[in-house]
């Protein structure tokens, strides 16, 4: 190795040390100035930051309240699904509901099942004029006070729908207000003067853990106090569902108030903090800025000293490591001979690859030592697309990463195989990469298992059709693609007729068999690019992309005829058929959900008039029915 003149080497070292010292001092000055400027900026914007922090914390509490309400809504909707096919005007329905959901419904003080005419069979009262009943009958979630205030709890309501997704009644649950209390004891010890959950009229739902200091109505309590904004503006923002903040001044103290809406409801989370607590927090923050400034300056000085020390130690360590490199490599070669991995070394200077065991033969190679160009030429003969990946692996010697892992796909041993290539760079005294050591592991079985799991995640396990999530994603991707002139995308909901009768008369195994046979008929009938998706139960989607209206209608007409199937068991016979709601679309600004809603409307017309047929909606403005 070439040696440098000692005098020149010493001068270079002194020069590098002076440059490093000057760079460190400049960095200290810049960082110190920046931190002092930042501290002055913090002092000027202390109130703004405190307000934003308080508002953010209030929004987090609003999100917690919203998640709790959503949890209770989900429980009610699950129960509503359970009673969807039961009569709502019978006491047995309520008893079966409580028996089925005993562990969950005990969170509610009471449950009421209200029929569509507004009567409840449990207590015989009429609820047709109640706001929460009217909201649920419109298909929305309802929330209201139990009586004239929230003292007796909060009422949540959800619609009960039949199989045709028509609203047949309402399920209501009464929650104690404590169920929406997301404030812990630690929060109340942080210096907050008030923590509330209120509705858009100012009525308390959660009031500081039961503290009556702020009256029975928050907006009434604000009347007569000195506010930073008019109370009419506060009411207006509450009615609009916006977050807001304002300051209160009075004999009993100065406060900052922030309020954030609870998504999907007319509720607000409100935080009222004492200004003394806010200023105290800002003071602690400025002290910490000064402490951090001092620590950073001292740390930079220490880092420079430690860097100079360890740079010298690193050179000594590299020399010692290189002395053992030959011995370690021989030891590595012996160990590699017993390994299941294909182990190799790569010399950067000669571009020579050497395999340290005989596992290279499993890769279709016949030499234990060869150059990179020769390796690429051999791989190009078998796997041309893999050459660029192999070239990138050996190009990693010029990167700053010492460790690298890459997955490669090759054809070897008569089948496609997946290989995991891991490499490690070895450095010489100058810090340059002198050699690369790597291993090649056959991960074909693991990769195939992963591909199988991915396929199962996209497939309906019973029928083999796409499941709802996979079908929705695939159709949305196709909807944004360009269509050939004169062609449209065709979206059809297929709903089986008499399927429930088949299940009831012949058993669920016959129903499962029918579902599988229907999917098989659809797949054989459709093209390779068409999509057959099971939404759930006996409802499917058939999507025919980029096809003329005439061809698509004829294809679905033939498919409809094929789906008239007779099932005979001993002296029992049931015929199933398929009703279809079909939509033609030639635009790109459309989604799966929009097509589904329109096709569902067509399907409803078929079910109402003549089952086993289809109804077509053309988004260009034409409608056709068979």
Residues 33-42: pLDDT tens digits?
777 676 666 6
Task: Give the tokens for residue 551.
Answer: 């061809």
Structure confidence by residue, pLDDT tens digits, 502-525:
999 999 999 999 999 999 999 999
**Which residues, at least 6 apart from 183, have a Cβ–Cβ distance to it below 8 Å?**
61, 195, 206, 209
Say what the pLDDT of residue 600 is.
Answer: 94
Across the range 340-367, mean pLDDT stands at 73
What pLDDT does 621 receive? 47
The residue ranking higher by pLDDT, 374 or 126, is: 126
Site of tokens 């005098």: 7
The answer to whether residues 256 and 245 touch, using CB atoms and an 8 Å cutoff, is yes
Confidence of residue 413 (pLDDT cuts 50, 70, 90): low
DSSP 109: S
CA distance 615 to 535: 19
Higher pLDDT, 375 or 490: 490
Question: What is the arithmetic mean of pLDDT over 125-136?
Answer: 87
The predicted model gives 61-86 an average pLDDT of 88
- The percent of residues above 70 in pLDDT, for the chain, comes to 78
Is the pLDDT assigned to residue 620 strictly greater than 60? no
Interhelix angle 549-562/508-525, nearest 10 degrees: 150
252-305 per-position pLDDT tens digit: 678 888 899 998 888 898 888 877 766 665 566 667 666 777 777 777 777 777
| pLDDT for position 524 | 94
Given its phi and psi angles, is residue 261 left (phi above 0), alpha (psi -120 to 50 degrees) or beta? beta
| Residue 412 pLDDT level (bands cut at 50, 70, 90) | low
Q: Is the pLDDT of residue 251 over 90?
A: no
* Three-class secondary structure of residue 446 per DSSP: helix
Q: Where do the domains of the chain lie? A: 6-41, 45-323, 332-448, 459-625
Q: Which residues contact 173 (CB under 8 A, 6 or more apart)?
A: 72, 75, 76, 105, 108, 110, 111, 112, 155, 156, 157
pLDDT at 503: 92
**pLDDT at position 492:** 96
Q: For position 385, what pLDDT does the model report?
A: 66
* b/e 444-466 (16+ beta carbons within 10 angstroms → b): beebeeeeeeeeeeeebeebebb
Give the mean model confidence (pLDDT) for residues 359-365: 65
The average pLDDT across 597-609 equals 92
Mean pLDDT of 363-379: 68
In this model, does residue 411 exceed pLDDT 90?
no
Say whether 459-625 and 332-448 share the same fold: no
Residues across the chain: 626
**Mean pLDDT, rounded, for 98-125:** 80
Residue 335 scores a pLDDT above 70: no
Tokens 């698509």 identify what position? 552
Strands 572-585 and 614-618: parallel
pLDDT of residue 539: 94
The CATH homologous superfamily for domain 332-448 is PAS domain (3.30.450.20)
Taking the domain 45-323, which CATH number applies?
Answer: 3.30.450.20
* Whole-angstrom distance, CA of residue 424 vs CA of residue 569: 68
Confidence of residue 79 (pLDDT cuts 50, 70, 90): confident
Supply the pLDDT for residue 328: 61
At residue 1, the pLDDT reads 34
Res 615: pLDDT: 92
DSSP letter at 607?
Answer: H
Smallest CA-to-CA distance from 556 within 470, 466, 616 is with: 616
pLDDT for 2 beyond 50: no
> What is residue 280's predicted lDDT score, i.e. its pLDDT?
63
Q: Which of 272, 68, 78, 87 is nearest to 177 (CA)?
A: 68
- Answer yes or no: are the C-beta atoms of 57 and 259 closer than 8 Å: no
Spell out the CATH class of 459-625.
alpha beta
Q: Are 350 and 373 contacting, i.e. CB atoms less than 8 angstroms apart?
A: no
Per-residue pLDDT tens digits for 151-185 = 788 889 999 988 888 998 998 988 888 888 888 76
**pLDDT at residue number 409:** 73
Please state, rounded to an integer, the average pLDDT across all residues of the chain. 80
DSSP letters, 65-96, are HHHHHHHHHHHHHHHHHHTTTS-TTSHHHHHH
pLDDT of residue 392: 74
């Amino acid at each position: 190795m070439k040696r440098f003149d000692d005098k020149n080497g010493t001068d270079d070292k002194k020069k590098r040390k002076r440059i490093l010292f000057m760079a460190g001092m400049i960095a200290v000055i810049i960082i110190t100035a920046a931190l002092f400027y930042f501290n002055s900026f913090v002092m000027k914007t202390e109130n703004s930051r405190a307000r934003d922090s308080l508002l953010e914390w209030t929004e987090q509490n609003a999100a917690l309240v919203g998640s709790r309400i959503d949890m209770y809504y989900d429980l009610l909707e699950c129960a509503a699904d359970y009673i969807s096919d039961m009569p709502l005007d019978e006491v047995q329905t309520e008893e079966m509901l409580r028996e089925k959901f005993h562990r969950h419904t005990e969170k509610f003080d009471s449950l009421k099942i209200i029929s569509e005419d507004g009567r409840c069979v449990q207590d015989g009262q009429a609820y047709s004029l109640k706001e929460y009943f009217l909201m649920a009958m419109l298909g929305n979630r309802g929330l209201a006070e139990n009586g004239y205030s929230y003292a007796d709890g909060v009422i949540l309501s959800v619609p009960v729908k039949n199989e045709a997704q028509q609203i047949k009644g309402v399920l209501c649950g009464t929650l104690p207000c404590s169920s929406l209390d997301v404030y812990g004891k630690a929060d109340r010890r942080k210096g907050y003067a008030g923590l509330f959950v209120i509705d858009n009229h100012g009525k308390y739902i959660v009031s500081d853990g039961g503290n009556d200091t702020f009256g029975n109505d928050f907006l009434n309590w604000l009347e007569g106090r000195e506010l930073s904004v008019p109370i009419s503006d506060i009411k207006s923002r509450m009615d609009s569902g916006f977050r807001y903040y304002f300051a209160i001044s009075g004999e009993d103290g100065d406060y900052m108030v922030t309020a954030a809406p609870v998504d999907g409801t007319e509720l607000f989370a409100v935080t009222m903090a004492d200004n003394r607590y806010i200023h105290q927090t800002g003071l602690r923050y400025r002290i910490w800025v000064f402490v951090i400034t001092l620590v950073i300056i001292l740390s930079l000085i220490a880092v420079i000293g430690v860097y100079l020390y360890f740079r010298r130690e690193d050179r000594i360590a590299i020399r010692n490591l290189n002395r053992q490199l030959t011995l370690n490599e021989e030891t590595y070669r012996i160990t590699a001979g017993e390994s299941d991995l294909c182990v190799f070394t790569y010399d950067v200077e000669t571009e020579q690859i050497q395999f340290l065991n005989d596992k290279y033969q499993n890769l279709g190679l016949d030499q234990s030592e060869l150059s990179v160009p020769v390796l690429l030429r051999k791989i190009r003969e078998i796997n041309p697309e893999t050459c660029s990946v192999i070239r990138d692996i050996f190009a990693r010697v010029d990167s700053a990463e010492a460790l690298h892992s890459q997955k490669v796909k090759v054809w070897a041993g008569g089948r496609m195989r997946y290989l995991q290539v891991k490499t490690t760079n070895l450095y010489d005294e100058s810090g340059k990469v002198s050699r690369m050591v790597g291993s090649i592991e056959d991960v074909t079985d693991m990769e195939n298992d992963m591909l199988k799991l991915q396929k199962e995640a996209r497939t309906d396990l019973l029928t083999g059709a796409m499941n709802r999530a996979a079908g929705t994603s695939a159709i949305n991707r196709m909807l944004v693609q360009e269509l050939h002139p004169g062609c449209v995308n065709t979206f059809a909901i297929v709903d089986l007729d008499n399927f429930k009768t088949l299940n009831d008369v012949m058993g669920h195994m016959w129903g499962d068999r029918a579902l599988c046979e229907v999917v098989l008929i659809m797949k054989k009938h459709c093209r390779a690019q068409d999509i057959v998706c099971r939404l759930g139960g006996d409802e499917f989607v058939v999507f025919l992309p980029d096809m003329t209206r005439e061809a698509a209608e004829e294809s679905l007409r033939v498919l409809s005829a094929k789906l008239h199937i007779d099932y005979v068991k001993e002296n029992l016979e049931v015929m199933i058929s398929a009703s279809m709601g079909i939509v033609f679309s030639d635009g790109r600004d459309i989604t799966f959900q929009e097509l589904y809603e329109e096709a569902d409307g067509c399907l409803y017309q078929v079910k109402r008039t003549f089952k086993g047929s289809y109804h077509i909606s053309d988004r260009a403005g034409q409608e056709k029915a068979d």
